[in-house]
Structure 1
């Protein structure tokens, strides 16, 4: 049996998305059918639409989602019908060299559903990040479902499916921010503000937010920034040094994905400090730094994929922190929209009007 559902599809590079009826198959072995309740509109979806990730059109967009398992295939034991789950795009295999060494968050063989969802004419769809959740139902690998407390609204829980988890993890996991640390975050959209929130949660005492938009800097203050710097009018490296006794920060998190902001992060850190790149660059971007500076400053230069998260460990813990009032996930939701509003949400994202638009299904 298959399911006919409405979904958001990107047909070609830079063309507006369309809402159409697609076909979702019943789950096969190791798969789960999920009725999507809410899905955030992430920059990655826009990258797919613009051809910045690949050219395997048509794409079924959406990936930052939560919903309920409707059915599972043979051999699935981790989730069951009725479970409230957050979807993730890093379903670990458990057997690759990273998993065998006890580092499953670095899994080198993550997997997705085997069957393909299709357009009405039978054309296979490429689901964004292996999920495709701007749809009333979607088919995923069972390992892409993480069961969490169902008392948290899907509009909030689903944010951990991508951007907010990426920012939180950049601070908590990749950057290993600790009590008393100083942190700078470059770029204060959803990912950057999540990094600010993560730094605050970890006990950082100095958290400097850097952006070119005063409105975004105000948002960063709400998530825990102790200082803000508008880099249009102020040299952020000098400002950060002045706030840290001339030393620079312990952890500098770049949440933009541009060479110029990465250089700022590099020079704004203390000796032996850490730079974390969580912003996603485009393929043509290059970076040049003096090799002597790389050598003499020491420390670590790290990239953060999905905040180095392990969904089975991190999602339930972060949901618990939200329920305790220690992690304000609901503040990331700027607006709730219908499935027909995704193209307009992309426009709001480009203008910087929102942290997150969330599609409610």
Structure 2
């Protein structure tokens, strides 16, 4: 029988979010109903509210979530009622050209629930990133559920569902940071600081945090940065070069996603070094640079999608490292809030006052 639950909905572009009654249908054959325990407030949810993703309003927001499987469809084999799971938006299909060539982290046809959640009047909701977890319960495909250690704190490990995984993976998977490497991270919000934590976990020797906000640089130091650069007062490229023997960093990660920060990343890397773009640009942004610079510097220019992660491989491993005290995921939780506090949390995130606000249900 369909269930009526609370959910945070963006009804129109730029309008404040509202808490509405959401109808969660019975699961289809491969669907799962998950009782949400915690969900992080990600900038992507704000982008949805602002119409920056698409215009398929109304949206059921929230996607960095952990919870417990409540009911499952008839054909579900991946999880069972009672399983503690982190939700993901990369439920790999196994059949597309990326999956078949052995690169499922690029899957082009990820799975979502077969049914739509709705408002009480029958209006269909678009769940953020196919999840919609600012709600007491949500409906997802079984492949969007990754089982992890049930003793882990939901408010902490749920953040692996998006931003923290994007940053960790940008360093560990896309950037392939190795022991002793020098790494610079431009932009030290949640994703950038996760990249710093990932670089530290991978054994990088020099980890340089670059930002214009002293508070963010302090967070970066707590999460593993060995050096900080205040880009509001010095040239970021020159500072990174100076801290790396005049050469530039082996890996530079742009966690902002603007033309000017991407150029900084490009010129702050060593010859044959790697640039990783994990910050998300807007469609109108362009970069104009001398082509000879691309040729003469060599190396790799990469984009990181979701940290090039495989949830089934990466989430349990990272949760175990957190439980062992080797990965300080708890430092990303700045505040725990209620379902009605999401709009205020958007303001805090936009102002850079938090790494993550987390809705606890």
Q: Please indicate the TM-score interval, normalised by the length of the shorter structure.
A: over 0.9
Q: Which residue of 2 aligns with 1:219?
A: 219
Partner residue, 1:124: 124
Which residue of structure 2 aligns with residue 9 of structure 1? 9
Residues 58-88 of structure 1, C-alpha deviations (whole Å, 9 max, x = no match)? 0000000000000111211110000000000
Say if 2:180 is the partner of 1:180. yes
Shift in Å at residue 113 of structure 1? 0.6
Task: Report how far residue 352 of structure 1 moved.
Answer: 0.8
Aligned counterpart, 1:302: 302
Alignment partner of 1:332 is 2:329: no
| Alpha-carbon distance in structure 2 between the residues aligned to 1:261 and 1:232 | 13
- Aligned residue for 1:245? 245
Aligned twin of 1:287: 287
Secondary structure of 2:116's counterpart equals coil
1:294-331 C-alpha deviation (Å, 9 max, x unpaired): 11111111000100000000000000100111000000
Q: Deviations over 1:95-120 (max 9, x none)?
A: 11111122111111111111000011
Q: CA RMSD in A?
A: 0.6
Q: Structure 2: 5+ residue runs without aligned partners?
A: none
Superposition pairs of residues 196-275 of structure 1, within 5 angstroms: 196-275=196-275
Task: Give the secondary-structure state (helix, strand or coil) at the position aligned to 2:326.
Answer: coil
Q: Which runs of 5+ in 1 are unaligned?
A: none
Quote the residue 1:323 is aligned against: 323
Separation of aligned partners in 1, 2:6 and 2:132: 12
CA distance in structure 2 between the aligned counterparts of 1:53 and 1:184, rounded to whole angstroms:
28
User: Which residue pairs with 2:149 in the alignment?
Assistant: 149
C-alpha separation in 2, matches of 1:318 and 1:256: 24
1:72 aligns with 2:72: yes
Moved over 3 A (4+): none
Please show how residues 93-132 of structure 1 align to structure 2 within 5 Å: 93-132=93-132
Q: Distance in 1 between matches of 2:83 and 2:275?
A: 38
**Could you tell which deviates more after superposition, 280-289 or 324-333?**
280-289
Q: What CA distance in whole angstroms lies between the structure 1 residues aligned with 2:326 and 2:260?
A: 33
**CA deviation after TM superposition for structure 1 residue 41, in Å:** 0.0
SS of the residue 1:94 aligns to: coil
TM-score by length of 2: 0.99
CA distance in 1, matches of 2:167, 2:281: 15
Aligned residues: 361
